[in-house]
A and B are shown apart, each in its own frame.
Chain A
Amino acid sequence: MTEKRKKKLNWFYVPAVILMLAFIAYPLFNAIYLSFFKWNGYSSSKDFIGVTNYISMFKDKVFLSSLRNTLIYGFLCTIFQQIIGLTLALFLNSKFKGRGIVRTVIYMPAMVSGLVMGYIMYFFFQYRGGVVNDILAFLGMEAYDWLGNGTSAIGVIVFINTWQFVGISMVIYLAGIQGVSQSYIEAATVDGANSWQRFRYIILPLLVPALSSSVIYNLIGGLKLYDVIIALTDGGPAKKTHSLATYIANRYFDAERAGYAAAIGVFSFAMIMLISIIVNAYFRKKEVEM
């Protein structure tokens, strides 16, 4: 095809790019701009205060705990989802009648909005009348206030997010395992490899592409965690379970500190970007090595 004709093809992506410039790129720069102001979010006047918002972030205890929680939600959920997801995939790849039903059911919670799942789980972890405490009472154990303190509430949130979306890792790993050529496995069996060795030295190295997709997917999902927290604890008790996402919304709309919320947003945008790039580069290297 002629060069001129090829150049004309660029017109095809112009509408999409304009839409993304208007609703993502412009708001991003707008947020960066606003992060240098003291602004309540609606009045027409705002004061330029330089990097003050960024400095006060690191003196704000709630911000620091939200940052820590965000990393916990991101990394802990990702680790659990990989371990459980891969185990489930290996189990459901073994042949037995009815495994399709189990796969279908495990993937099903991913169809429910995080917010609604949060409400459903509230019925489990509520102190009075919660299902978990009912079971404990049945076993003769004392009731526990799961959502009453920061540590256990964070644990509950990690559990729910892992439980709800582990099906996604499972199907990615299943696809990866099914993509491993049966002849490699047979060759290894002939050479006397046991099932652990076959998994460790044949299947696992060939699963690195699936692993990297699943990790990136879950990591971004965990780092942006928002709706489950809103439904379950709304950041409480005593603001101890906030993620950066919920804290941004909290500062913006409840505290009317739009400039400060923008600064936290810019910070978490940069952080998620950086983490994704590093993790991606790490897996690229692994794929080459293995």
Chain B
Amino acid sequence: MSLTDKLKKEKVGVTATSEHIEKMEFRAKDWWKYLISLCLLIIYLFPFYIIINVSLKSFQDTTSRIQFPSPIYWENFNKVISSGEIFTGIRNCLIITVFVLLVEIVLGCMAAYGLARNQSKLNEVVRSLIMSVMMITPLTILVGVYSTMSNIHATSTYWGMVLVLSAFGLPLVIFLYTNFIASIPVALDEAAAIDGASNLQIFFKIILPQLKTVTVTVIILQGVSVWNEYTYAYYFLQKTEMRTITLVIKTFFSAVSNDYGSAAATAVIGMLPLIVVYLFLQKYFIQGQVDSAIKS
């Protein structure tokens, strides 16, 4: 049995048991658990309720934000949708996220293959240096990044934004891939090498096909962080037509005098794509979060 089959089997096993556990029945003696759960749900859903409420009220409506709007005022959404800015934002987010993920996945799994399969002293140093990059937060070197980016005319370009975000995301991606590749038996590589395969062939034919699950994790984790990125987007995407969702939402909120309604409507539309994807694929989101956090 190949290793992929084995891994698949284990994965199936794990999900099967957890689903088995989830099949539980209501029990009356659990009432206090339901009471606490209800409180938690209220605490966590209330802010979402409020923003939806505000987005459905006209700015002349001075009732409390807690109160449900009557009548429902759709004009905010009409205004936001017809201006179209939020859709430009969604398009820009898609462009940047897709390309960042491409760069990170290609460079990341290649780098991880080299580091996992040649564990020399030099590569131990390279690996720890890459890992220490994870502790460099974007703002601390903002001045350096900004002047570098303007020197190479990379401000307000998609490629500049893609490369800088990829560089910051790569350490985590390399970390995830290295751990995974290290768990694939070297014997597979060696067998292929004896058959005359080059390193490149081994990488493409033996390693790459096994990286599907960890790639899903990378896509989810990095996808969310790039989609919601604000710091560098604010400084490096200064053209109006290049703004990401977060920047469009910021513009609406900064421009309001009293018109919170349309700002809220923008925020609602802007949050929607990621929340919908999350609700459908939440199992993978949570698994990805755990994989990235628990150290080897």
- Interface residues in chain A, defined as those with a beta carbon under 8 Å from any beta carbon in chain B: 1, 5-13, 15-17, 19-20, 22-24, 26-32, 34-35, 41, 88, 91, 94-117, 119-121, 123-124, 129-131, 134-135, 163, 168, 171-172, 175-176, 209-210, 212-214, 217, 220, 223-224, 226-227, 230-231, 244-245, 248-249, 252-253, 258, 261-262, 265-266, 268-269, 272-273, 276
Q: Which residues of B contact A220 (CB under 8 A)?
A: 135, 137
Contact B40 A12 (CB under 8 A): no
Q: Is B195 an interface residue (CB 8 A)?
A: no
Task: Return chain A residues, CB-CB under 8 Å to B228.
Answer: 111-114
Q: Is B5 an interface residue (CB 8 A)?
A: no
Bound Cα distance from A209 to B126, whole angstroms: 24
- CB distance A34 to B144 under 8 Å? yes
Contact yes or no, A20 B130, CB < 8 A: yes
Q: Note all chain A residues with C-beta closer than 8 A to B48.
A: 120
Q: Is the interface of A mostly helix, strand, loop or mixed?
A: helix
Among the stretches B72-80, B110-118, B210-218, the one at the interface with A is B110-118
Which residue on A lies nearest to B164, using beta carbons? A23
Determine which of A106, A111, A266 lies in contact with B40 in the assembled complex, contact meaning CB atoms within 8 Å: A106
Known: A24-B133, A119-B263, A172-B289. A96 touches B253 (CB 8 A): no
The verdict on B1 contacting chain A, using a C-beta distance below 8 Å, is: no
Across-interface contacts of A19 in B (CB, < 8 A): 103, 107, 163, 166-167, 170
The reply to whether the CB of B199 lies closer than 8 angstroms to some CB of chain A is: yes
Chain B positions within 8 Å of A34 at CB level: 143-144, 147
Q: Does B45 contact A (CB under 8 A)?
A: yes
With A13-B110, A102-B40, A214-B293: A96-B141 Cβ-Cβ less than 8 Å: no
Contact call B37/A172, Cβ cutoff below 8 A: no
Q: Which size bracket describes the interface of B in this complex?
A: 35 or more
| Residue from A13, A31, A265 within 8 A of B115 (CB atoms) | A13
The 25 sampled A-B contact pairs (Cβ below 8 Å) are A6-B117, A12-B199, A13-B111, A13-B112, A19-B163, A19-B170, A20-B167, A22-B167, A23-B148, A23-B167, A27-B145, A34-B144, A41-B143, A96-B24, A97-B30, A98-B34, A105-B41, A135-B66, A172-B294, A214-B293, A224-B137, A248-B140, A248-B142, A252-B142, A272-B140
Q: Which partner residue on chain A sits nearest B167 by CB separation?
A: A23
Interface centre among A112, A123, A172, A266 (most CB of B within 10 A): A112
Residues in A whose Cβ lies below 8 Å from that of B137? 220, 223-224, 245, 268-269, 272
| Measured CA separation A74–B66 after assembly (Å) | 32
Chain A residue with the shortest CB-CB distance to B110: A12
A residues within 8 A CB of B117? 6, 9
The reply to whether A95 and B24 contact each other, CB–CB distance below 8 Å, is: yes
Knowing A9-B118, A224-B139 are in contact, say whether A113-B33 is a contact too (CB < 8 A): no
Residues B111 and A12 in contact, CB atoms below 8 Å apart: yes
CB distance from A186 to the nearest CB of B (A): 16
Closest residue of chain A to B116 (Cβ to Cβ) is A9
Contact with A along B270-296 (1 / 0, CB 8 A): 110011001100100110011001110
Q: Among the interface residues A17, A163, A220, A273, which one has the most CB atoms of the partner chain B within 10 A?
A: A17
For B36, the chain A residues whose CB sits under 8 A away are: 91
Q: A105-B45, A113-B246, A115-B246 are in contact. Are A123 and B139 (CB under 8 A)?
A: no
B109 CB to nearest A CB, Å: 9
Which residues of chain B have C-beta atoms less than 8 A from A269's C-beta?
136-137, 140-141
Contact (Cβ within 8 A) B249 A116: yes
In the complex the two chains form, what is the Cα distance from A103 to B279 in whole Å?
Answer: 11
Query: CA–CA, A248 to B137, complex, Å?
Result: 12
Q: Which residue of B lies closest to A113 (CB)?
A: B228
Q: What's the nearest-Cβ distance from chain A to residue B290, in Å?
A: 4
Interface residues of B in 242-265 (CB under 8 A from A): 246, 249-250, 253, 260, 263-264
Q: Do B144 and A28 have beta carbons less than 8 Å apart?
A: yes
Most B CB contacts (10 A, CB to CB) among A110, A111, A210, A272 go to A111
Instruction: Pick the contact of A9: B24, B114, B164, B271 (CB < 8 A).
Output: B114
Complex CA distance for A101 and B24, rounded to whole angstroms: 13
Residues of A contacting B285 with CB < 8 Å? 107, 111
Distance of A233 from chain B, by nearest CB (Å): 13
State A134–B140 Cα separation when bound (angstroms). Answer: 39
- Asked whether, in the complex, the Cβ of A123 is within 8 Å of the Cβ of B143, the reply is no
Return the chain B residue nearest A258 by Cβ.
B143
Task: Provide the bound-state CA to CA distance between A100 and B279, in Å.
Answer: 12
Residues of A within 8 Å of B41, CB to CB, are 101-102, 105
